[in-house]
Amino acid sequence: MDPRSRLVSTCQAEAKAYGYTLTIWGGGALLIHAFGTPSPPDVFAYVFGALFGFALLVGYAFDSPLSSGGRDDDQRDGDFLAASTIHFLATPGNLLLAYATILLLAGTGIPHWAAYFAVGTEATLAYNVLTLLEDYIGELLSVPRFQRG
């Protein structure tokens, strides 16, 4: 495999995790800015919030927790818009939602751990929903490929 093809494969494989990492890190940084250094319960609440958000997504996507395939096993490997791997919508869009959530919660006097849990959940849910929107936009903008006969 030539280096450029390998880089294409690597970018495709890492794109969603890379954007999610920026989302989670950015959301945590915004929480620290608003609430100060997190206590151990705050950190655990943030992580459990993210896990809860992912559990909600998995619960929707799969028919059963023991299922090995989703509701729609049709995988399209080749049709994507490279720009959608950069996550210009999902990452900053989610950070705006996280910031709005933090601003709403900061003035309520709720325990810090609850804010961390809420933002962890929101970050996971919103990021994944926004990547679906990016994929849809990518499908609309991608140039159709001609099939070889």
CA distance 6 to 60: 33
41-78 pLDDT, tens digit each: 999 999 999 999 988 888 888 766 666 665 554 544 44
| 148 pLDDT higher than 70 | no
| Entry pTM | 0.77
Q: What is the mean pLDDT of residues 14-35?
A: 92
Task: Write down the pLDDT at residue 11.
Answer: 81
Across 6-15, 53-62, 114-123, the highest mean pLDDT is recorded for 114-123
Q: Could you tell me the residue ranges of all domains in the chain?
A: 10-62+80-141
Alpha carbon distance 94, 134 (integer Å) = 12
Give the C-alpha separation, 31 to 51, whole Å: 17
